[in-house]
Amino acid sequence: MMETLHANGRTLAYVNLPSSGDDNRPSLIFLCGFHSSMEGIKALAFEDYCRSRGLSFTRFDYSGHGSSSGDFEAGCIGDWLVDTLAIFDHLMSPPCIVLGSSMGAWIGLLLARLRKPMISGFVGISSAPDFTERQIRMALSSRQQEELQRFGRTSFPSCYEDGLPYPITSRLIDDGVRHRVMGNTIPLDCPVRLVHGTADQEIPWQTAVELAGYIASDDLTITLIKDGDHRLSARPHLNRIFSIVDGLVANG
């Protein structure tokens, strides 16, 4: 059942699945991607995964996404990190496994740095760290750059079926710079699992390899799924990810 949390002037929608047991197994939280929602295929699949194993699970919408309040165009990485912290602090208890998809992996790394003692595992799926700089800004045409300078916004092509362009603002780009994680050590020492598709047309698989070099953890593996796309939401792809999460859950 969907519930809401009022925090920082926003109404955040979430679904929390409680554990069916009294054990000390980890609770899981899923962080969605850019312009995605907690009703996406992976979020719902992880809920089914956790329900079948009796694990606690939380999925939610950032402000401006899905069923949460706010204007998507007005948001930025820092805002969505604040939303994530509000949900995390309200619902989660250690040990926690963070599941981050695309932009959610970037926000998850920021979350893990701030709540490090609570995090027992991290899974980055098609991780998109610093994508506002590395993918969006680098791909802007001269016309789009001029629109950003003159109007503070432009449009960026969507990779999804509806084909509708995303509004991109100078605030989003500038805030992304302030929250960059690539380039300095990421002080995450829990087990880390990075999963990426070799056919990802949005975020190249080499990003996972580069990201791994910045993460402090010695317990880190990269799984490349041959011909996997950015979404990695096909059933065989999800099953691969579930088997990886099984290992983290078993180790607590």
- Catalytically active residues are 102, 200, 230
Amino acid at 249: V
Task: Tell me whether strands 96-101 and 153-156 are parallel, antiparallel or unpaired.
Answer: unpaired
Q: Look-up: residue for tokens 């990201």?
A: 211
d(CA 232, CA 240): 10
d(CA 73, CA 111): 22
d(CA 104, CA 65): 13
d(CA 10, CA 64): 9
d(CA 39, CA 66): 8
User: Are 66 and 92 within 8 A, CB to CB?
Assistant: no
User: Are 13 and 61 within 8 A, CB to CB?
Assistant: yes
Task: Tell me whether strands 96-101 and 57-60 are parallel, antiparallel or unpaired.
Answer: unpaired
